[in-house]
């Protein structure tokens, strides 16, 4: 029972990070049809923001805030410098642009900061444990679940209750119609990138706090998983991205925890096969967008 509770917390905690990254990808995709593979580098940049702030002697809490801020700035810079010029280009051109941005940033991190991982040492008291009914639960996974849920809830309120949020949802439905109604596209797109940067920054905080280091490749794997999550959830569907993120995180932890050791090398294959099986049954994803692109 304890084991199940602990693994459940592990699963939801990892799923929360994937959900935030997937949502960041989905928000941008739903508006400008860009699958941003440089999203991982936004997360990595956030991680380096935390590292540099700690290096310059900032208190840990301030360093985490600066990390989130750095990710937002990076997302906005990416939109302004690389993707705005490509607005309206076809999906393949946008995809290749995002790969190029990703590669350029990785090389810059490697040569400008370090090819090796750099340490992020947060106070030991932050990574303590507490007891629930005999089970020992980590503080960090719990905090990460709470932060992920608050971020997702906050974003839902933002999209439903604010004018710019409603404009963004409208843009996801039909960008041209929105322009005809006189809404400034640049503002809507920039806000979408800022939100994706904010989510990547929060993911970077959770990720680095749990993993203790940042390296130039840090963002690659989680964003790859997040991309799979957006496809599983339904490309372009915001709710689907969140659901897909949690589904992938939970599947991964379950596979790690409960598969027999002999199957361990096939763990990723089993998780991906499950995703393919789900897509065969629901080709548009678990929660398809209204104007779905079949994945």
Partner 1 sequence: MKMRISLLAAASVIALGTSASADDYVVGVMSAQSGYLAPYDQPSYAGFKYCIDKINENGGLNGSIPVKTIVKDTRSDIAEGVKVVQEMIDEGAQFIVASADADPTIAAAQITAADGIPTMTFAGTAPVLTQVGEHVFGSYPADNQQAAVLADYAYGEGLRKVYLVKSPDAAYTLGGPEYFGEAFTALGGEVVGESLYSLNQPDFSAIVTTIKASDPQPDVIVTWAWEPDFPAFIKALRGAGVQTPVMGGDVLDTPTVRGLGEAVDGVIHTSGGYPNEGSKYATFMEEFEAATGTTPDNNYYVNGCDIAHMIEQAVDAAGSTDPAAVSAALAEIEDGEGIMSNFTFKGTDRMPLREVVIAKINADGSKEFIKRELADLDTLPKP
CB atoms < 10 A from the CB of 140, how many? 17
253 binds partner 1 (CB under 8 A): yes
The single-letter DSSP state of residue 294 is P
Tell which positions 263-282 bind partner 1, by CB under 8 A. Answer: 264-265, 267-268
3-class DSSP state of 209: helix
For partner 1, the binding residue among 20, 24, 145, 215 (CB under 8 A) is 215
The residues near 289 (Cβ < 8 Å, ≥ 6 apart) are 30, 172, 234, 235, 236, 237, 240
CB atoms within 10 A of CB 261: 6
| Piece of 94-102, 131-139, 164-172, 276-284 that binds partner 1 (CB under 8 A) | 131-139
- When the beta carbons of 18 and 83 are compared against partner 1, the nearer one is 18
Rounded to 5 degrees, what angle do the CA atoms 47, 50, 54 make?
Answer: 145
For position 13 contacting partner 1 by CB under 8 A, the verdict is yes
Sign of CA dihedral 138, 141, 142, 144: positive
Among 65, 99, 173, 256, binds partner 1 (CB under 8 A): 256
Rounded least distance, CB 229 to partner 1, Å: 12
Q: In whole angstroms, what is the distance from residue 26 CA to residue 235 CA?
A: 7
DSSP H helices, the chain, are: 2-32, 39-55, 60-78, 91-112, 139-161, 163-173, 175-180, 185-211, 220-233, 238-258, 267-281
Q: Measured from the CB of residue 115, what is the shortest distance to partner 1 in angstroms?
A: 4
For residues 187 and 211, which CB has a smaller minimum distance to partner 1 in the complex?
211
Query: Does 6 sit near partner 1 (CB under 8 A)?
Result: yes
Of the residues 62, 139, 177, 179, which one makes contact with partner 1 according to CB under 8 A: 139
Binders of partner 1 among residues 83 to 102 (CB under 8 A) are: none
Give the footprint of partner 1 on this chain (CB under 8 A).
2-3, 6-7, 9-10, 13-14, 17, 107, 110-111, 114-119, 121, 124, 127-129, 136, 138-141, 210-213, 215, 217-218, 220-222, 225, 252-253, 256-257, 261, 264-265, 267-268
């Amino acid at each position: 029972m304890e084991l199940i509770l602990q693994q459940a917390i592990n699963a939801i905690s990892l799923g929360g990070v994937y959900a935030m990254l997937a949502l960041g990808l989905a928000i941008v995709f739903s508006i400008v049809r860009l699958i941003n593979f440089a999203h991982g580098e936004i997360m990595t940049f956030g991680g380096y923001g935390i590292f540099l702030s700690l290096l310059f002697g900032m208190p840990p809490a301030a360093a985490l805030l600066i990390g989130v801020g750095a990710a937002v700035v990076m997302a906005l810079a990416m939109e302004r410098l690389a993707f705005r010029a490509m607005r309206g280009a076809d999906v393949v051109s946008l995809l290749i642009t995002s790969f190029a941005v990703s590669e350029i940033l990785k090389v810059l991190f490697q040569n400008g900061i370090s090819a090796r991982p750099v340490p992020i040492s947060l106070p030991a008291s932050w990574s303590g444990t507490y007891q629930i009914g005999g089970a020992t639960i980590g503080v960090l996974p719990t905090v990460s679940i709470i932060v992920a849920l608050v971020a997702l809830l906050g974003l839902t309120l933002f999209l439903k209750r604010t004018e710019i949020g409603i404009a963004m949802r409208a843009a996801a439905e039909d960008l041209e119609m929105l322009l005809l109604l006189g809404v400034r596209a640049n503002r809507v797109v920039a806000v979408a990138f800022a939100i994706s940067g904010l989510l990547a920054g929060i993911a970077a905080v959770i990720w680095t706090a749990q993993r203790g280091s940042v390296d130039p490749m840090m963002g690659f794997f989680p964003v790859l998983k997040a991309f799979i999550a957006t496809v599983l959830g339904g490309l372009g569907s915001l709710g689907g991205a969140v659901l897909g993120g949690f589904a992938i995180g939970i599947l991964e932890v379950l596979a790690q925890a409960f598969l027999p050791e002999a199957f361990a090398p096939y763990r990723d294959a089993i998780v991906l096969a499950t995703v393919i099986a789900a897509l065969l049954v629901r080709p548009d994803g678990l929660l398809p967008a209204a104007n779905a692109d079949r994945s």
